[in-house]
Structure 1
Amino acid sequence: MLAFFQSGPVQMALALSGAAAFVCGALGLFTVLRGQAFAGHALADVSSAGGAAGLLFGISPLLGFLLLGIAGVGALEILQPRRAAARDEAAGILLGAGLGVTALFLHFCITGHGASGAAQTVMFGAMFSAPPGTAGWACALAALCAAVMAVIARPLLLASLNQDLALIAGAPVRALGVGFLLLLALGVTLAAMTVGAILATALLIGPAAVALRLARGPGMAVLLSILLGLAACWGGIVLAYLSYGWIPGRTWPVSFFIVGLLLLFYAASGLRRRA
């Protein structure tokens, strides 16, 4: 274990995944309450185009993920109709467009630069090989998200539970919705850097879904969601590290372990509720 903690790539992975778990744990609760899980998935797929563009043009993948995620928020605001029943349609269109652009950029990466691992990096994460400085920026973005959430948490919770009551109370519901989507773009950016764009929704929704089953208040639910996300991410890193000795010459992807642990947590919470 001493070699584990002294490894530079492991330190990078622990910091990056810790920032992602913290942000997604806090945002996931509101994502579930607001019924925006599909919107979060759409933003993750749009941000994947930014990650692919970062590899293609030689810029930071974290910056690419974040910029396209923010652009996805703008597109959602333009495409999203007022009728709740039609919002998933807009998110679905955006999701497909994001994956299409991602496929184009990855094609150029593979055929033009010979980056055969580009698709694996963008779609399934590469936290052990993230560029230097990525973990520091990820932690700074997580701190920024925490500061903003501390300011808007109460009115956002009211707007998430009862929009009409929030309007009567004078809460800026529309601004809160846009602000939350921007934070959500940040959350899926960090999740995409950790487990990849395709699996980012698991880290966003999984811990929050378990916490809502077990906790008895919003504050405890957010705390439990963060702790579960950290347990899944850091536990997945440990298992991926240990997998080097399971089959000679083969390793297991860390994303598999993280998502597998989240599924295990969710199943266990269901059994506990039935008990």
Structure 2
Amino acid sequence: MTGFLPAGLLASEEVRTALLVGGVVAVVSGMVGVLTVLRGQSFAGHALADVGTTGGAGAFLVAIPPLWGFLALSLAGAAAMELIGVQRARSRDLATGVVLGAGLGLAALFLYWDTTVHNTTGAAMVVLFGSIFAIGHAVVAPVIVAAVVAACVVAALYRPLLLCAIHPDLAAARGVPVRTVGAVFLAAMAVTVALSAVTIGSILSTALLVGPAATAIRLTRRPARAMVYAALVGVVAVWGGVVLAYESYRWPPSHHGWPVSFFVVAIVFVAYLAADLPGRGRR
């Protein structure tokens, strides 16, 4: 298999770390993403990712790894959306919009301070578009732990979440605490988008949450199988993006390398389009 990989790829410690972290994040993003799409909360995921931008920018101000800022602000955004009101679709969208606007305003302020007060070069690029090759050893273990926790939450609440997504009134009639289940899932989604922000940046993290899930749902009607497909698509996208970004340093004319986030999003987009081809042929 190594014959198909660029020379020296796996010899690089940064690349091995990127493949490990990216693979873990892709798997949990696929699991959470399928339920996100089925529950109609893609906009909420996008808002949490943008709110996480504030945390990432704030982390640079206090000189801590961006992961902690992404996690803190994404969870805070989920809590704010829940407190404002997410029990109905209309109020949920309104709450999401309010939190999104406030988060982006703070993000703009923090990024301004990063560049003008603290002279932190590259902060905006790292926060918005990620830097998976620069992930330190100290961050690997927390990323894996957070991903496992989010995956376990989704697995434990799988049936109630699915019932609430398909028929919330029936779920309430059967005694399912719909709002509590929704709040816990929102927290798991916040953790997931924060982890995605570490890999491909906050502004693009929704692509890893929603894209593979939407692709998988096009391929199968079974939610459990869709989670497996989404995880596979996400892993292929992230690992393919890492390999292509590594190889792009040799591409003329500049030999500077292309960002991993571009390749990841491009692969996800192509996979989404390709998933619709069998259906188009049948039609």
Same fold by TM-score greater than 0.5: yes
CA distance in 1: counterparts of 2:39 and 2:132, whole angstroms: 30
**Is 1:160 aligned to residue 171 of structure 2?**
no
Deviation digits for residues 61-110 of structure 1, max 9, x if unmatched? Answer: 11111011110011101223654234323212211211111111111111
CA distance in 2: counterparts of 1:60 and 1:71, whole angstroms: 18
Q: Which amino acid aligns with 2:223?
A: P
- In structure 2, the residue matched to 1:220 is 225
- In structure 2, the residue matched to 1:255 is 261
How far off is 1:229 after superposition? 0.4
CA distance in 2: counterparts of 1:181 and 1:116, whole angstroms: 33
8 Å Cα contact 1:167-1:173 kept in structure 2: yes
Q: Which amino acid aligns with 2:278?
A: R
Scaled by the length of structure 1, the TM-score of the pair is: 0.96
Moved over 3 A (4+): none
- In structure 1, the residue matched to 2:136 is 131
**Is 1:22 aligned to residue 43 of structure 2?**
no
- In structure 2, the residue matched to 1:33 is 38
SS at match of 2:276: helix
Q: Which amino acid aligns with 2:122?
A: G
How far off is 1:44 after superposition? 0.7
How far off is 1:18 after superposition? 1.3
CA distance in 2: counterparts of 1:125 and 1:272, whole angstroms: 34
- In structure 2, the residue matched to 1:266 is 272
**Is 1:117 aligned to residue 122 of structure 2?**
yes
8 Å Cα contact 2:153-2:185 kept in structure 1: no
8 Å Cα contact 1:209-1:266 kept in structure 2: yes
CA distance in 1: counterparts of 2:67 and 2:279, whole angstroms: 39
- Relative to structure 1, the CA distance from residue 216 to residue 89 in structure 2 (aligned partners, 3 Å threshold; closer, same or farther) is closer
Scaled by the length of structure 2, the TM-score of the pair is: 0.93
Q: Which amino acid aligns with 2:148?
A: A
How far off is 1:8 after superposition? 1.5
- In structure 2, the residue matched to 1:107 is 112
8 Å Cα contact 1:19-1:190 kept in structure 2: no
Larger mean Cα displacement after TM superposition, 142-151 or 75-84? 75-84
Q: 1:141 aligns with which of 143, 146, 157?
A: 146
Q: RMSD value over aligned CA atoms?
A: 1.3
Deviation digits for residues 143-199 of structure 1, max 9, x if unmatched? Answer: 112222221111111111110111122111111000000000001001111111111
CA distance in 2: counterparts of 1:165 and 1:207, whole angstroms: 29
CA distance in 2: counterparts of 1:99 and 1:44, whole angstroms: 10
Q: Which amino acid aligns with 2:59?
A: G
CA distance in 2: counterparts of 1:163 and 1:251, whole angstroms: 48
CA distance in 2: counterparts of 1:70 and 1:81, whole angstroms: 15
Unaligned stretches of 5+ in structure 2?
Answer: 1-5
Unaligned stretches of 5+ in structure 1?
Answer: none
